[in-house]
Each structure stands twice: as structure tokens, then as C-alpha cells.
Amino acid sequence: MAARRRIVAGNWKMNLDHAAAVALTEGVAAGAAGCSGVELILCPPAVYLEAVAAALQLADGNSPSGVTLGGQNMSDQPKGAFTGEIAAAMLLDVGCRSCILGHSERRTLFGETDEIVNTKTKAALAAGLTPIVCVGETLEEREQDRTAAVVSEQIAGSLAGLSAADLARTIIAYEPVWAIGTGKVATPEQAQAVHALIRQQLASLADADTAAQVVIQYGGSVKPDNAAVLAAQPDIDGALVGGASLKADDFLAIASHFAAAD
């Protein structure tokens, strides 16, 4: 079987302004050639999607640099009276190929449950967008030795009812909540252990071949100086990067470690 794809995504969250978003995009696009073998995704705030698409010179979702565009969140509804929401078709319309779903900030601050993440995941797949489904335990849950149970419940709930083909198209991001934005990164062993469990669970949800194809990213304080050891783990296929994705050089340095790990 071909080697799994490696994918590094930048989650800009609610940061930057129009000019800074364009400058960051240009910086990433200019350096992307140095990270061959790794797919790069930029996930700007929704109001800057079109500006980033233009800076990437996107056409049909493809750019000369190979960098693609993703949303940070979307509605599970196709259209209609849902003030403030964005549909999967709208993300596609402005050039997105993927969308982050069920990020821990969405789960904890905006009440997203596994059921909601599941309906969004199905809506993304049905529309032709790649979902980046986030899971991860809190510090309390880890300290209570409940990491495996919590992550497994999130995976089962968020991915319920997906066919093997849909699972193969889905990206999973394991992001321990205690590592997000805190500077506390999971050790490579801690991250690998959870990634291996997730892959085992995917094999039982679908089959071993499908599980072997699924890209599982690690997220939570990934920086240029800790990316190499994470990238060296057999089941860590990329990263979902928050803070360090706001600097082109840092984001590219992280991506280059995943390129070098092949």
C-alpha cells in the first residue's frame, strides 16, 4: 500500500486582519515548495477566505503552490434561515477543500456535541469537503486515566454511520485539550499511543486497509522545535497547528519536519 499522505493544517482561529492574512498566505505559498511531500492547508477566519483564496491564486480549489484552503467550522444545514452560519457549499464555492470540525473550542465554548460533529461531518462529506474531525481529552480526564475512553467515545460518536470510503476521506486531529495554546505539548509517546488507539478503532469501524489510509494529525502546541519527534512517530501523519501557524516561517518549518520524516 502507498505511504499515507502527510498533511499540515494551519488553524488561524480568530486572529489577523485582512492585510496580515494576505501577507501570511503569500509567505506560506512562497515557501511551500520546500515542503514537498506534505500537503498544506490554511484555515483563515471565514471573512478572509476569499482574500486568502485570491492570494493563493486558487482555481477549482487548486493553487500553483499546492497549498489549499479550509474552513474552521460550518453548519450541518445546507441553506436557509440560520443567521451567522456558513454552509458546506459556500465553503466549496470560495475554494475550500476541507473544514475543521468539532475543534475543542467549538465543543467547550459553543456546546458542540459528538452528535453535532457527526451531522456536520456527514454534511461536509456529502458536499465533497474533507472533514478534519478533532478529538481530545481534558487534563482532568487524562489525570483520571480516562484518555482512551474519552477519545474512543468521541471517535465513535463523531464518525458514526460513515462508510469505509467516507472514513478514508476523513482527516482526524488528535488534540489533547490541555496542550492547546498552553505550550505543553504531548510527548511523542503519549501522542503516538492515542493515535495508535484511534487507528485500531478505525479498523474496527471499517477495516484495516481503510484505517491504514486515514491521516491522523496531532495538534496542541506544535512548534518548529517539537515537530520532528512527533513526525517521527509511525501513526502521526501531520499536524493541526494553531499559534505557530500565524508565522509563515514557523508553519513551514513544522511542515518541513513532516516532509523529512518520510
Contact call for residues 8 and 40 (beta carbons, < 8 A)? yes
Q: Which residue is nearest to ligand PGA (CB)?
A: 242
Cβ distance to ligand PGA smaller for residue 108 or 113: 108
- Shortest Å distance, C-beta 127 to ligand PGA: 22
Cβ distance to ligand PGA smaller for residue 11 or 192: 11
Cβ distance to ligand PGA smaller for residue 84 or 183: 183
**Which residues are the active-site residues?**
103, 175
Can you state the angle between helices 18-31 and 49-56, rounded to 10 degrees? 30
- Shortest Å distance, C-beta 121 to ligand PGA: 17
Contact call for residues 117 and 158 (beta carbons, < 8 A)? yes
Q: Tell me which residues touch ligand PGA (CB under 6 A).
A: 11, 175, 180-181, 219-222, 240-244
Contact call for residues 103 and 11 (beta carbons, < 8 A)? yes
Cβ distance to ligand PGA smaller for residue 8 or 206: 8
- Shortest Å distance, C-beta 241 to ligand PGA: 5
- Shortest Å distance, C-beta 180 to ligand PGA: 4
DSSP state for residue 220 in the 8-state scheme: S
DSSP state for residue 29 in the 8-state scheme: H
d(CA 193, CA 176): 12
Cβ distance to ligand PGA smaller for residue 95 or 243: 243
Residues in the chain: 262
d(CA 259, CA 47): 31
d(CA 155, CA 262): 27
- Shortest Å distance, C-beta 117 to ligand PGA: 15
Residues 98, 235, 150, 116: what is their CA dihedral angle, to the nearest 10 degrees? 10
